């Protein structure tokens, strides 16, 4: 899987602090051949490379953020007090975080069927997203995957592995769910980029060949300086044609390291939120999440269990040298997740 900006294909956030000097932002952008290109509102013609200073002097008269269709107010980073309250569900669940036997996300390989038993495919009309089962009724994903759906809920395929083949023994589809974005999610900066989905009916885990939840980290639990895994069905080539993106049919996986916050601060400046983001990626390039991987999990192993340490959120380009990506730090939102789950009982 490769990754670029918001990890969705048609909406890529250009971070205002990623290039030198004072650069005006844009209302929209397209992604062509590995470059995020700005365009004026209402126009379908890109103006040229965002990093081209000659182009920057000829930009739209009315500039705005390069982002999804709606504009929100700026939110501040939210912190929460520690809690020891576990995530609870009324329905019996198998043990969380158990990974099946294993044998492109960019630079990645095909996952084995039943290797990642908690995966969910979110079939947005313009660009797919991913999600992660955390109990019998709840799924974690990115807020930007549900920000501009205009009330039309994407079809969820729970237990998805191969998008070209539906197997009712291993997966099911539904639109019978509620979605809840973090209250101060900012669609301009992608701060607090997390959402939780609540299914109307609980998952009957025993009905399917291999389906179980992933483990959710405790509040403030860290996974720094370790190698983790990203999974998804997103773009497999960083230099893709947006009108014919090379999405994967089969679930892909790639191992990437979590790196120091200073790496992402150096790339994104104020667009990286140390308290609620994780910086991860192979600085040698060639391995990354990309468009279509948004909302999927950054999976870290601890004591033989898989944890959803992060959620694919944003970045600059896909699989580029010396560029890591931004993931939502799930452990910063554990209290919020617990409270939302408890409110639905």
Catalytic positions: 144, 193, 294
CA pair distance 313, 10, nearest whole angstrom: 14
CA pair distance 92, 298, nearest whole angstrom: 25
Q: Which of 10, 39, 68, 14 is nearest to 314 (CA)?
A: 14
**Which residue spans within 84-237 are E strands per DSSP?**
109-110, 119-123, 129-133, 138-141, 155-158, 172-174, 177-181, 195-199, 227-232
Whether the CA torsion 9, 15, 16, 20 is positive or negative: it is negative
Q: Which residues contact 298 (CB under 8 A, 6 or more apart)?
A: 228, 229, 230, 258, 278, 280, 308, 309, 310, 311, 312, 327
Q: Residues 199, 201, 202, 207: what is their CA dihedral angle, to the nearest 10 degrees?
A: -120
Q: Which of 254, 262, 297, 294 is nearest to 279 (CA)?
A: 262
CA pair distance 117, 231, nearest whole angstrom: 11
CA pair distance 121, 172, nearest whole angstrom: 11
């Amino acid at each position: 899987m490769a990754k670029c900006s918001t990890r969705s294909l048609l909406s890529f956030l250009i971070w205002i602090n990623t290039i030198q000097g004072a650069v005006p932002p844009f209302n929209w952008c397209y992604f062509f051949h590995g470059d995020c290109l700005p365009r004026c509102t209402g126009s379908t013609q890109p103006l040229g490379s965002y990093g081209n200073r000659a182009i920057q002097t000829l930009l739209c008269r009315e500039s705005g953020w390069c982002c999804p269709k709606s504009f929100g107010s700026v939110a501040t980073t939210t912190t929460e007090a520690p809690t020891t309250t576990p995530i609870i569900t009324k329905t019996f669940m198998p043990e969380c975080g158990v990974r099946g036997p294993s044998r492109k996300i960019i630079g990645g390989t095909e996952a084995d069927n039943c290797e990642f038993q908690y995966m969910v495919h979110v079939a947005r009309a313009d660009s797919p997203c991913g999600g992660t089962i955390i109990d019998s009724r709840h799924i974690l994903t990115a807020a930007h995957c549900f920000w501009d759906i205009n009330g039309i809920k994407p079809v969820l395929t729970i237990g998805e592995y191969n998008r070209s083949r539906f197997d009712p023994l291993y997966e099911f589809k539904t639109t019978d769910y509620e979605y809840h974005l973090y209250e101060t999610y900012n669609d301009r900066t992608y701060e607090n980029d997390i959402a939780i989905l609540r299914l109307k009916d609980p998952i009957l885990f025993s009905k399917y060949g291999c389906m179980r939840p992933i483990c959710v980290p405790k509040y403030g639990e860290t996974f720094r300086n370790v190698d983790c895994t990203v999974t998804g069905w997103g773009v497999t080539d960083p230099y893709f044609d947006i009108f014919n993106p090379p999405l994967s049919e089969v679930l892909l996986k790639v191992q990437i390291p979590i790196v120091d916050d200073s790496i992402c601060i150096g790339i994104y400046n104020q667009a990286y939120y140390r308290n609620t983001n994780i910086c991860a990626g192979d600085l040698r390039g060639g391995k990354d999440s990309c468009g279509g991987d948004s909302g999927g999990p950054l999976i870290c192993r601890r004591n033989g269990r898989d944890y959803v340490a992060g959620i694919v959120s944003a970045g600059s380009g896909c699989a580029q040298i010396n560029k890591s990506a931004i993931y939502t730090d799930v452990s910063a939102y554990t209290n919020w997740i617990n409270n939302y789950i408890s409110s639905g009982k």
